[in-house]
Amino acid sequence: MRKFFSFFAALALTGSAGFAQANMTLDYEGCLAYALEHNIQLRQSRLTGESTRLSLDGAKAQWQPTLDAATTQGVSNHPWGQGNKTVYSSNYALSAGWTVYNGGQRENTIRRYETVGEMNRFQTLAIERNLQPQILQLYLNILYAAENIDICRESAAVSAAQAERGKALMESGRISRVDYAQLESQARQDDYAVVSARANYDSQLLQLKSLLQLGIDTDLSVLPYQWTDNVVTSAVPSKLSTYDLAVDNDPSLAAARTSVKVSDYDIELAKASGRPSVGLTGGIGVTYNAPGQGAFGTQLKQSLYESLGVTLSVPIFNQKKTKTAVAIAQVDRIKAVLDEQQRLDDLSQEIESWYIDLESARSRFISGLDRVSATRLSDELVNEQFELGLVNTVELMQAHNDYSQARRELLQAKYMAVMARKMIDYYRTTSIALP
């Protein structure tokens, strides 16, 4: 049974560089688990959610009263005054305030942050789920590139053998030097194809390392999967049922719908700036002067004062700030509704596109099986005829190239079909499993 997270690390000290090189071998599930833990975009989204949670705590705290303590210490000097020329004075006070009503700003701010928190959770979930097709695409590209290297190597080995055989035939006088040169050129082209295939493999592996946030000090390799023809040829559910499931499960769509709710609260907050507000204030304090009338305790007792007040603020003219803010919030709501509609359209187009890709790749795969069989037989027969001197080098190379091309096209069709099939499953179940 394939492990969910296959991770093998070996450290080898480099003599001159002085750092350790880690070797990682991962399967698809291992790549996904590693990305969920280390992907920077995902970690940033989680931090955004934490910031929203803290903002919600701050919004709830607006229901609490404020309490401040203050003290003032001062010395005044009257050089030409009568009596005491230098006087020390101090004041100690507590002041409190509480907003009774502010047009519904507190309530709507709390509801808004609660909704934003819900939207952040959907956005984080969308990033988590979007990592699955991103990793799948790169993983399948790597597996395709690896198999393509094998095909190119086999083709290069056959070309080298044909060139060697052509050299022997040229030396015996059975073919011309021109024919041998063509065989040698074909061998060199196939060698170059191996190099190009390897470069493509390394490029795809580098992209996967980048997605997993792996550094230059890590060598990554992936585990292969074995695919059966049934993965390509088996029937798939209808497009409409897949679309319905995708609409129910898509976190990006849920985030877009939640964004509309956030816009509703923004409108209410904008309206609140034009409504009256009521606040309560209160305070208590004492003063002390030296020299003054009475001892310290007596002065504090006699100077004790208390205050209580109610403040009513009614906006009359505010330079159209409220009206403008409401209009802007309403425009933002329309944008949010359009984003929701756009996501629905994107889902529809994406799903239909994957069904088209699957059908196309499936047809190419089925016809490719017959083509590979036919070109293999043709290649074998032409090789036999070449040994007998019945065909020339052009026909030999044509048969060889046709067979190699048929194998590569079949391989491409297989992986395109696998990708499309897995993406359809992803839209239906929100998860991808290999093989």
Residues 279/98, Cβ–Cβ less than 8 Å:
yes
Per-residue pLDDT, 332 = 95
Provide the mean pLDDT of the chain: 90
Lowest mean pLDDT, pick from 76-85, 117-126, 139-148: 76-85
Strand partners, 22: 11, 218
Residue type at 110 in one-letter notation: I
Domains of the chain, with CATH numbers? Answer: 11-38+102-276+314-429 (1.20.1600.10)
Predicted confidence (pLDDT) at residue 1 exceeds the cutoff of 50:
no
pLDDT at 12: 37
Place of tokens 């095909």: 151
179-205 average pLDDT score: 94
Question: Using an 8 Å Cβ cutoff, are 117 and 56 in contact?
Answer: yes
pLDDT classification of 3: cutoffs 50, 70, 90? very low
Which pLDDT belongs to residue 78?
77
**In 3D, which of 30, 3, 268, 22 has the Cα closest to residue 131?**
30
- 226-234: long-range pairs with CB below 8 Å, 24+: 226/435, 227/414, 227/418, 227/435, 228/435, 229/365, 231/417, 231/418, 231/421, 231/435, 232/361, 232/362, 232/365, 232/414, 232/417, 232/418, 232/421, 233/362, 233/365, 233/366
Q: What is the mean pLDDT of residues 244-251?
A: 96
Q: What is the share, in percent, of the chain residues with pLDDT greater than 90? A: 75
- Is residue 183 predicted with pLDDT exceeding 50? yes
What's the helix, strand, coil split of the chain in %, to 5?
65, 15, 20
Highest-pLDDT range among 48-57, 164-173, 175-184: 48-57
| Residues found in the chain | 435
Q: pLDDT tens digits for 96-141?
A: 999 999 999 999 999 999 999 999 999 999 999 999 999 999 999 9
pLDDT digits 0-9 by tens, 4-36: 344 333 333 333 444 456 789 999 999 999 999
Over 348-385, what HEC string results? Answer: HHHHHHHHHHHHHHHHHHHHHHHHHHHHHHHHHHHHHH
Q: Could you read off the pLDDT of 250-289 as tens digits, one per residue? A: 999 999 999 999 999 999 999 998 999 999 999 999 998 8
Range with lowest mean pLDDT among 30-44, 241-255, 284-298: 284-298
Give the pLDDT confidence of 349-402 residue by residue, as tens digits: 999 999 999 999 999 999 999 999 999 999 999 988 888 888 888 999 999 999
For residue 146, the model assigns a pLDDT of 96
